[in-house]
Every structure is written in C-alpha cells, then in structure tokens.
Amino acid sequence: MEICYRPIGVIHSPFREPNGVPIQPSAAKGIRGTVEVFPEYADGLKDIEGFSHVILIYHFHLARPGELIVRPYMDDEGHGVFATRAPGRPNPIGLSVVRLLEVRGRRLTVENIDVLDGTPLLDIKPYVPEFDVHRVERIGWLEKNVHKLPEARDDGRFTR
C-alpha cells in the first residue's frame, strides 16, 4: 500500500540551510517564522486564532533516506530511529509545537520555530495541554543527554 500526502502550505523561517537549525522548538525560543497555507485550504484556519499554540506536521524535504540505526544529534551512540527524533526516517515526517502569535488571512506568524525555510507543511493541529501533556516516568537514552538541547543544532548529518 502506498500513501501519498500533498502539502497544504509551506513553512518560512530564518533558516536557509539545515546546518545550525535548532533541533526542537524549546531550543528555538523567540525565533519567529511564518506558516503560509495554500489558498484552497484557507477555510480550514477558521477559529485557529483561539489557540496559543499549534502543532505543525511537516515533511523533512531535505532529509536523506533513513537508516534504522542512527546517531542522533545529542548522543554519539547509535539508537533505533524510532527511539529518536532524527529527520532521516522511513517516512520523514516532523512535528513541532509552536506559539501562534498572529493570524492574517492564510498566514500564521509563529514563534519558537525549529524548521527549515521552505519546508512543506502537511497539517496543522491545535495544541491542547489536556490532550497533549502527559506525565512520563522515563525518557530512555535522552535522560543522560537532554541537558544538551539548548546548544544542540543540526550539523547536516541527515541531509541529502
């Protein structure tokens, strides 16, 4: 079975190339971008301005085909790709929770963007803490590495 998605828009950010892009929104504090929704999907933005945060789901369009064992940005050891958030994956889909600052027509101004300029947007969902925040007991291999997040940046290892 083949599944095909078509972009509903494009994400614009200050990041023109993968090297140096923060690897998570929490490491991209204050960085602004724009989400441009294509005209045929503009009606789908009705009522989105009522949310302070949205989830952007996008296609890592410059990621090379994924390996099943990867060396993620914050560790020197190999891990299964499904135990990482590496962009090189069997289906190169990314997600970012960003702050929604403004809605003007079919353009959303967002903050804490960790996405490359020109990234194809697949979907937008409202972020709702009661749905999306969970108390966790463990975070796997990241337990010893999560402190590296503020300085971690894309170094091109997953780019074509």
pLDDT in tens, 111-133: 999 999 999 999 999 999 999 88
User: What is the mean pLDDT of the segment spanning 36-43?
Assistant: 98
Burial of 21 (0-12, 13-18, 19+ CB in 10 A): buried
How does pLDDT run across 42-101, given as a tens digit for each residue?
999 999 999 999 999 999 999 988 889 999 888 899 999 999 999 999 999 999 999 999
What pLDDT does residue 149 have? Answer: 72
The Cβ of residue 157 has, within 10 Å, a number of other Cβ atoms equal to 15
**Quick check: 68 and 81 in contact, CB under 8 A?**
yes
What is the reported pTM?
Answer: 0.90
Q: Dihedral sign for Cα 64, 66, 67, 70, please.
A: positive
CA–CA dist 127, 89 (Å, integer): 24
Alpha helices in 22-133 (DSSP H): 129-132
Query: Between 144 and 110, where is the model more confident?
Result: 110
Which candidate, 39, 33, 19, 159, places its Cα nearest to that of 92?
159
Radius of gyration of the CA atoms of the chain, in A: 16
Beta strands in the chain (DSSP E): 9-12, 32-37, 53-59, 69-70, 79-80, 93-104, 107-111, 119-126
- Given a cut of 80, whether residue 139 has pLDDT beyond it is no
